[in-house]
């Protein structure tokens, strides 16, 4: 899942958001709404859903629009029959031009009906929003990509570049079967492309209906969980001893909490901090610009670090997320485990991050292990003007006056698996969210109706422009 970077620019720079969707829906929008509704209402959670069913339903819509069976590849593995996906190939006319790949994931985070105000697997339009699990992450993107090919097929549009669509499963659950990873490892030729367009970018509002900025994700952090374990003979709680597994783990986690990974910059973050800093025009903006010029400026770093998103963009971060220990309320603990979740700056490996944690903890009784082995290194694609330029060009038409800024994601997407096999992957601008994240991964997930339709129009025009070059 992407984690959207929040950027609040000065009040004088706030531009009008895209106009509200007040007019009756166009016929193409009505059809899209039906596709989106079908996708949201297909439960694709790991515990009870089926990405395979969702992929089959999207394939049926593409086939009904005129795409041929030979252009549609449904895939699944016997061990994970419900975690399947779809690759659709819409042919271009220029043989010498490599394809564009559109990537979206079908799976969603778990959602319990008893926790939600509304049924999470029923698309509900209310108060200018669409509510439901996946309405943002990532069924908005998956529906828009599928709808784009539906519209192309229905109109007989012939792009120069071949356009590929990959709808996959497993993005939301580390260690589960991951369709993007499987395609990259086993069907590389099926998804081969000059570059991919993915989640991770998008617009941000002020939380009051004003669109402030559009971002392009150019790189992301790599995700890794580390399991910390300590064991002890234990004993009767009436006779405590200093060597207590819970205390020992607590001391280790306190060291992790106090440790700060050093600042790092790359081309994307330099561009982000310089451009975003100039737009702000306040003390934080000046500190951002100074830090680009001098990463050793501790005063500027201290000011920037107050913003949790910017703090995370500058470095690897590790944080304790779960802990478990003890076997009885009247006994000394025999074992304690904890999970430390790390988001590694592009280029950093799980092995070197593990080594840093071991050095920081400095306790041979605490075992540190990678939860998932062989995770790829996060790579940053180039700030290619042939790709970034059209994104900015189309944004100027759809979102006039709104700045477009490259950024890295502090979260993680399936783009890391494509980058690992040489497919540069970019998170696109388009639909927008509020500073609270719109309930993504949480309760009552939502997206503004006007955001979805405006984002759909932007992305349709963007794909068409990129495919024509």
Per residue in 240-278, pLDDT tens?
999 999 999 999 999 999 999 999 999 999 999 999 999
Q: What is the pLDDT of residue 151?
A: 98
Task: Please state, for a pLDDT cut of 70, what percent of the chain lies above it.
Answer: 95
How far is the C-alpha of 80 from the C-alpha of 177, rounded, in Å?
A: 7
Q: At which residue do the structure tokens 């609270």 appear?
A: 436
φ and ψ of 368, to 5 deg:
-115, 120
Q: Which residues contact 401 (CB under 8 A, 6 or more apart)?
A: 15, 16
Q: What are 85-113's pLDDT values in tens digits?
A: 999 999 999 989 999 999 999 999 999 99
pLDDT at 7: 52
The confidence band for 422, taking pLDDT boundaries of 50, 70 and 90, is very high
CA nearest to 444, candidates 21, 122, 17, 106: 122
The pLDDT score that the predictor gives to residue 1 is: 57
Helix (H, G, I), strand (E, B) or coil at 163: strand
Please tell me the predicted confidence (pLDDT) of residue 281.
Answer: 86
Closest CA to 413 of 429, 432, 426, 423: 426
3-state secondary structure of 437: helix
Domains and CATH numbers, the chain: 11-220+378-467 (3.40.630.10), 222-250+318-376 (3.30.70.360), 262-315 (no CATH)
- What average pLDDT score do residues 187-211 get? 96
Contact 253, 246 (CB under 8 A): no
Question: What's the predicted TM-score (pTM) here?
Answer: 0.90
Sign of the C-alpha dihedral computed for residues 185, 188, 190 and 191 taken in this order: positive
- Buried-exposed string 35-69: b where 16+ CB fall within 10 A, e elsewhere: bbbbbbbbbbbbeebbbbebbbbbbebbeebebee
Q: What is the average per-residue pLDDT within 293-298?
A: 97
Q: What is the pLDDT of residue 333?
A: 98
Report d(CA 328, CA 176) in Å as an integer.
32
Q: pLDDT averaged over the chain? A: 94
Q: What is the pLDDT of residue 12?
A: 31
């Amino acid at each position: 899942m992407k984690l959207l970077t929040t950027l609040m620019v000065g009040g004088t720079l706030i531009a009008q958001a895209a106009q509200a969707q007040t007019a009756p829906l166009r016929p193409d929008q009505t059809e899209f709404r039906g596709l989106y509704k079908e996708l949201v209402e297909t439960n694709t959670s790991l515990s009870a859903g089926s990405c395979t069913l969702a992929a089959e339903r999207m394939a049926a819509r593409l086939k009904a629009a005129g795409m041929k069976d030979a252009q549609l590849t449904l895939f699944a593995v016997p061990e994970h029959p419900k975690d399947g996906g779809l690759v659709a190939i819409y042919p271009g006319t220029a043989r010498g031009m490599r394809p564009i790949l559109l990537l979206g994931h079908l799976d969603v985070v778990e959602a319990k009906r008893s926790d939600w105000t509304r049924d999470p697997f029923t698309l509900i339009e209310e108060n200018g929003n669409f509510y439901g699990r996946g309405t943002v992450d990532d069924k908005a993107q998956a529906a828009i990509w599928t709808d784009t090919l539906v519209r192309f097929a229905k109109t007989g549009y012939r792009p120069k570049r071949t356009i590929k669509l990959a709808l996959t499963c497993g993005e939301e659950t580390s260690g589960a079967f991951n369709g993007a990873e499987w395609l990259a490892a086993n069907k590389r030729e099926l998804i081969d492309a000059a570059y991919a367009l993915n989640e991770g970018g998008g617009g941000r509002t002020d939380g009051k209906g004003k669109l402030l900025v559009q971002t392009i994700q150019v790189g992301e952090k790599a995700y890794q969980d580390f399991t910390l374990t300590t064991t002890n003979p234990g004993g009767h709680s009436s006779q405590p001893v200093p060597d207590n597994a819970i205390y020992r783990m607590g001391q280790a986690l306190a060291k992790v909490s106090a440790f700060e990974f050093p600042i790092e910059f790359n081309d994307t973050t330099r561009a982000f901090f310089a451009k975003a800093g100039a737009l702000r025009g306040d003390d934080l903006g000046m500190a951002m610009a100074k830090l680009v010029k001098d990463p050793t400026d501790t005063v500027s770093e201290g000011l920037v670090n107050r913003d949790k998103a910017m703090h995370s963009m500058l470095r690897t971060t590790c944080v304790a997320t779960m802990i478990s220990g003890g076997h009885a309320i009247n006994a000394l603990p025999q074992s304690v485990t904890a999970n430390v979740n790390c988001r590694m700056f592009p280029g950093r490996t799980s092995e070197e991050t593990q080594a840093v944690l071991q050095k920081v903890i400095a306790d041979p009784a605490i075992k540190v292990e990678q939860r998932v082995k062989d995770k790829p290194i996060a790579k940053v694609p180039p700030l290619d003007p042939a790709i970034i330029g059209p994104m900015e060009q189309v944004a100027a038409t759809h979102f006039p006056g709104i700045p477009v800024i490259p950024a890295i994601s502090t979260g993680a997407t399936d783009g890391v698996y494509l980058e690992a096999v040489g497919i540069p992957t970019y998170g696109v601008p388009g639909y927008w969210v509020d500073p609270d994240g719109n309930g993504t991964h949480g309760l009552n997930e939502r997206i503004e109706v006007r955001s979805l339709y405006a984002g759909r129009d932007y992305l349709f025009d963007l794909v068409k422009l990129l495919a024509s070059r």
